[in-house]
Amino acid sequence: MATNGIEGLLVETHNWGKTVAFWKSLGYLLELETDHHSGILKHPSGGPYLFVAERPASQALQVVPVIAVTDAAKFEAPASGTVVRPFERQHWPVLEMLLADPDGRTLSVQTPAPDSEGHHHG
């Protein structure tokens, strides 16, 4: 089963406020803010959303593409990749698989959880 492409990007940061201000200065709008220094920004002209999430200063930061699929049961990971973690329900309403590309970069493959609707994000 093919994917629906890159739906969003998880952008990790050590400073939520500065990172959101940076993206806002580039035209992104804050659509959703959580109570734990994370949230979704979207650009009015479209394109992938950004899910910005603050991480501890001791943690190395990543930018993780979020790949959308329609049905977790029908998705088959590419043979050239490695399933780091199979689909699991997350605290936001999605099932998420962590997949590594041939160079070891992590991708988040997400589909709405069967009994919910909402945004995908990391």
Q: Which residue has the tokens 């200065």?
A: 25
- Pairing relation of β-strands 38-42 and 82-89? unpaired
Q: According to the model, what pLDDT value does residue 59 have?
A: 96
Alpha-carbon Rg for the chain, nearest whole angstrom, is: 15
- Report the run of H or E that residue 120 belongs to, with start and end: none
Question: What are the tens digits of pLDDT across the range 50-95?
Answer: 999 999 999 999 999 999 999 999 999 999 999 999 999 988 889 9
Alpha helices in the chain (DSSP H): 16-25
Q: What is the pTM of this model?
A: 0.85
Buried b (16+ CB within 10 A) or exposed e, 32-58: eeeeebbbbbbeeeeeebbbbbbeeee
pLDDT number for residue 34: 87
pLDDT of residue 60: 96
Structural domains of the chain ordered from first start: 6-112 (3.10.180.10)
